[in-house]
Structure 1
Amino acid sequence: MSMTVIKSIHKKIADQLIQHEDLRLKPYRCPAGKLTIGIGRNLEDKGITQKEAIMLLKNDIQDCISDLKEIFSDQKNNENEKNEFDSLPEGVQIVLVDMRFNLGHDGFRRFKKMIKAVREHDFHRAALEMKDSRWYYQVGKRAENLVKMMKNSATSTTGMNRIRKLANGEDIEDLAALAERKNEVTIPHEKFINELKNDGII
């Protein structure tokens, strides 16, 4: 039997099952009283496979990211809409996706002060706003980990800002003075910048 014939038979079976079972996108009780979803999928007896669970997770993550891009977009000028989410540090993006996944569309939007702090790249304040909520105490360890990740992003961002200042020739005297106090060898500014570039830091 050729693949064309097999596909044709499968399509006919699928069409008939959809006609008999119907397509339901939310859980419901079938005539036998079993919790069911989709096209007759018995969630109580069969459930879903690991592969199906991962597929659902990937779709949900993409939904969260799309929504966050909408939240962190500059809609003042629709012609040149700027997406702020992609420019955020990776750690902050992960925290936001996790929170959006957990809180849902409306729940996440209630964290207005945290969202404002993230927009301003004040990740330390964003972490404090996360902690100052009922959600923080409801989800326990998960919230603690996310707050810690947000705070770490604040620290790393501060470090990168320091590096960018050095790259622009700012605060070099302070760096040299600090090295001298630690009996460290100082290097010329140009060499320092080249090393940063070689390491892919700037």
Structure 2
Amino acid sequence: MTFAALAAALATIFAAGYGTLALVAREPARLNLAEQFGLSWLFGTGVVSLLIWLVGFCARGAVLQCLVTALCLLLVVIGRKQTPALRFPKRLSFFEFFLAAVLVVEIAIVFYLSFIRTLGWDGLLNWEIKARYAFENNGVLPPTYLADSSRTFTHHEYPLAVPFTQLWLYFWLGQANQFWAKIVFPMFYASGSILLAALAIR
């Protein structure tokens, strides 16, 4: 059940990102599968966190989750006509294949280290605390938290993309599970690394 919920949370993020990519990219057909993966994750987390914030003004809890999910799927439907075809990267030389393998191993190590280590102080006090507050308040950051000067050490001014992405996982998991929330950070690392590698090739 946990894996299914986690898969659903990640799938809706990628759906929102993929639909947004299809709508905003000038020539989406030029993007290969790796580039589409990286951009879909970045766009998806941005869209989902923005939707949680906007829809949170008029809905909370399960209603908020359902509305955001529906809007994510709607993005895919709207962008369907512009959806880029799946195009695999060009045939790699031996050296390029070696570098790609190194990148895959590097990403795998980051995933492994992320799951065997705790979130750490930054993860807890900058991101997790906001996600937990919002989850306990039915998906909305309580105004009392934002107005509390004693909690300025949690950096109220930081963007909410990361904590609201964690919150989205919590919605689907039905609990504030820090262990599975840690998947967010290596996913950002993987998408960023893939896009940097793709940019270097171009």
The structure richer in strand per residue is: 1
Larger radius of gyration: 1
Asked if Structure 1 and Structure 2 have the same fold, meaning a TM-score greater than 0.5 normalized by the shorter chain, the answer is no
Which structure has the higher relative contact order (CA within 8 Å, separation 6+)? 2
What's the TM-score, normalizing by structure 2? 0.22
What's the TM-score, normalizing by structure 1? 0.22
The structure richer in helix per residue is: 2
